[in-house]
Structure 1
Amino acid sequence: MTGLGAVFRPQLPPERLRAVARLADVTGLEELWLWEDCFREGGISTAAAALAWTERVRIGVGLLPVALRNVAITAMEAASLERMFPGRAILTLGHGVQDWMGQVGARAASPLTLLGEQLDALRALLRGERLSVSGRYVQLDDVGLDWPPEQPVDVLAGATGPRTLRLAGAKADGTLLTAATSPDGVREARRIIDEGRREAGRTEPHKVVVYLLAATGADAAARLRAELAAEGLESVPDLGAAGDAGAVAKAVQRMAEAGADTVVLQPTGDEPDPEGFVRFVAEEVRPLVS
Structure 2
Amino acid sequence: MLKISAVLPAQLPTAACVTAARLADKAGVHRLWITENLYTRGAFALAGAMAAVTERVRLATGTVSPFLRNPAVLAMEAAAMQEISGGRFSLGLGSGPAPRLAQAGVHTEKPLSDLMEAVEVLRAVMSGGTADHHAITLEPPSPSCAGVGVYLGAIGQRMLGATGRHGDGLLISMFCPRAQVRDSIATARSSAAEAGRTPGDLDVVVYVPISASMSDPVGARRRGRAFLAENFARFHGVEAYERMLQRSPHVDHDVIAGIATAYLGGAAFEHLISDELLDDFVICGSEEQCARALGLWSAGELGVNEVALAHCGPEDGLADAIEMLGVLASAQL
* Residues 30-62 of structure 1 deviation map (CA, whole Å, 9 limit, x = unaligned): 111211111111011111111111111111210
* Alpha-carbon distance change, 243 to 115 in structure 1, aligned in 2, over 3 angstroms: same
The alpha carbon displacement at 1:15 in A equals 2.3
Q: In 2, distance between residues paired with 1:27 and 1:195?
A: 36
The alpha carbon displacement at 1:8 in A equals 1.7
Given candidates 143, 150, 162, the residue that maps to 2:136 is: 143
Query: Between Structure 1 and Structure 2, whose CA radius of gyration is higher?
Result: 2
Give the corresponding residue for 1:53.
Answer: 53
* Alpha-carbon distance change, 123 to 253 in structure 1, aligned in 2, over 3 angstroms: farther
Give the strand-richer structure, 1 or 2. Answer: 1
> For 1:37, what is the secondary structure of its paired residue?
coil
* Residues 232-259 of structure 1 deviation map (CA, whole Å, 9 limit, x = unaligned): 3587332222211222223323223211
Give the corresponding residue for 2:165.
Answer: 170
* Amino acid in structure 2 at the alignment position of 1:285: L
Give the corresponding residue for 1:137.
Answer: none
The alpha carbon displacement at 1:271 in A equals 4.9
* Residues 62-121 of structure 1 deviation map (CA, whole Å, 9 limit, x = unaligned): 001122110000001111211232331121111112221122111321111121111111
* Alpha-carbon distance change, 173 to 84 in structure 1, aligned in 2, over 3 angstroms: same
Give the corresponding residue for 1:208.
Answer: 204
Q: In 2, distance between residues paired with 1:159 and 1:223?
A: 28
Stretches of structure 1 that go unaligned for 5 or more consecutive residues are: 134-139
The alpha carbon displacement at 1:171 in A equals 0.8
Give the corresponding residue for 1:93.
Answer: 93
Confirm whether residue 260 of structure 1 aligns to residue 304 of structure 2: yes
The alpha carbon displacement at 1:270 in A equals 3.4
Give the corresponding residue for 1:129.
Answer: 129
Confirm whether residue 72 of structure 1 aligns to residue 69 of structure 2: no
> For 2:147, what is the secondary structure of its paired residue?
coil
Give the corresponding residue for 2:251.
Answer: none
* Alpha-carbon distance change, 2 to 36 in structure 1, aligned in 2, over 3 angstroms: same
Q: What's the C-alpha RMSD, in Å, of the aligned pairs?
A: 1.9
Given candidates 290, 308, 312, the residue that maps to 1:248 is: 290
Q: TM-score, normalised by structure 2?
A: 0.79
The alpha carbon displacement at 1:199 in A equals 2.7
Whether the 8 Å contact between 1:9 and 1:269 is mirrored in structure 2 is no
Q: In 1, distance between residues paired with 2:315 and 2:148?
A: 33
The alpha carbon displacement at 1:155 in A equals 0.6
The alpha carbon displacement at 1:269 in A equals 5.3
* Count of residue pairs brought into register by the alignment: 282
* Amino acid in structure 2 at the alignment position of 1:278: I
* Amino acid in structure 1 at the alignment position of 2:203: K
Confirm whether residue 198 of structure 1 aligns to residue 240 of structure 2: no
> For 2:138, what is the secondary structure of its paired residue?
coil
* Alpha-carbon distance change, 230 to 111 in structure 1, aligned in 2, over 3 angstroms: farther
Q: Greater shift after overlay, 168-177 or 29-38?
A: 29-38
Whether the 8 Å contact between 1:4 and 1:286 is mirrored in structure 2 is yes
> For 2:163, what is the secondary structure of its paired residue?
helix
The alpha carbon displacement at 1:2 in A equals 1.2
* Amino acid in structure 2 at the alignment position of 1:215: S
Confirm whether residue 280 of structure 1 aligns to residue 324 of structure 2: yes
Give the corresponding residue for 1:230.
Answer: 230
Whether the 8 Å contact between 1:249 and 1:289 is mirrored in structure 2 is no
* Amino acid in structure 1 at the alignment position of 2:160: L
How does 1:92-111 map onto structure 2 within 5 Å?
92-111=92-111
Q: In 2, distance between residues paired with 1:269 and 1:78?
A: 31
Give the corresponding residue for 1:19.
Answer: 19
How does 1:33-44 map onto structure 2 within 5 Å?
33-44=33-44
Q: In 2, distance between residues paired with 1:269 and 1:11?
A: 14
